[in-house]
Structure 1
């Protein structure tokens, strides 16, 4: 369901994106090519001056919430995965090739390229360098903790890339079904 916000801004969704019938996209939201938006996901840019941009190749899985506060932006970089039930709250910038795990919360921060946030982690008010890994359940609310994070492992980097690949294949499959009907 695509809805305007009170400022009469309508979502802009690529014809090459696949959006579940139960997903809700409201307001000043831009969704690029080859994006998968799963069941019950909500992308909401309805407050004054808010915006959300989801670049190409991303997947926003079931029950994800992306919301942008007044006068703030959320940017989700290319080929990024927002896994089941995570929350991304603006202001927020997520670099290309990132993974945000199940139930994780990311708010008022910047994540560098190829960052992996594992399940149920909380990231708030910090900048995370590229190619870092945030372990399961970790709470990062201070820059010193963010700066001390270790690099992503090769295994987890492969996993992250496989999730993007699988979801792009889903988009292609759903697009074929849509064309057939």
Structure 2
């Protein structure tokens, strides 16, 4: 479902993206090529001056919520995965090649490229450097904690790349299926 916001801004969705019929996209939202938006995901830029951009190759999985507060933006970098049930709340910038895990919450933060936020973690009010890993269930609400994060491991880098590839394959498959039927 694509809806305008009260300011008559409509979502802009690439024809090369795949959006589930049960996803809800409202307002000043821009979705680029090769993006997968799963069932029951909500992307909502309906407050004054808010915007959401999901760059190419990214995936917004089932039950993800992305919302931008008034006069804020949410930027999702290329080839980034927002896993099932996570919440991304603006203002927020997530760099290229990131993974935000199941049930994680990120708000009012900048997450550098190639960073992995594992399941049920909370990241708020900090800048996370590129190439870091936030372990399962970790709460990062001080810059000191953000600065102390360890580097991502090769196996987790490989994992997040495999998630992106799987979702791009899904986009291509669903688009093909739609063209056939």
Query: Is the structural similarity TM-score above 0.5?
Result: yes
Instruction: Write out per-residue CA displacement over residues 144-167 of structure 1, whole angstroms, 9 at most, x where no aligned residue.
Output: 000000000000000000000000
1:91-106 to structure 2, matched below 5 A, reads 91-106=91-106
Q: Which runs of 5+ in 2 are unaligned?
A: none
State the match for 2:9 in structure 1. 9
- Structure 1 match to 2:157: 157
Check if 1:60 corresponds to 2:76: no
For residues 126 and 21 of structure 2, what CA distance do their matches in structure 1 show?
Answer: 35
**Shift of residue 180, structure 1, vs aligned partner:** 0.6
Partner residue in 1 for 2:135: 135
Look up the match of 2:42.
42
For the pair 1:176 / 2:176, whether they are aligned, the reply is yes
1:107 match: 107
How far does residue 16 in structure 1 lie from its aligned partner after superposition? 0.2
Unaligned 5+ segments in structure 1 are none
Indicate the SS of the match to 1:92. strand
Any runs of at least 4 consecutive aligned residues in structure 1 with deviations exceeding 4 A, and if so which?
A: none
Taking the aligned partners of 2:68 and 2:179, their CA distance within structure 1 comes to 33
Corresponding residue SS for 1:63:
coil
1:126 and 1:58 mapped to 2: Cα distance? 23
Distance, in Å, in 2 between the alignment partners of 1:77 and 1:10 is 21
Q: How far is the alpha carbon of 1:178 from its aligned partner?
A: 0.7
- Aligned twin of 1:125: 125
TM-score, reference length from structure 1:
1.00
Question: Matches of 2:83 and 2:49 in 1, distance apart?
Answer: 27
CA-CA distance at 1:107 after TM superposition: 0.1
SS state of the match for residue 106, structure 1? strand
After superposition, the C-alpha distances for 1:62-86 in whole angstroms (9 at most, x for unaligned) are: 0000000000000000000000000
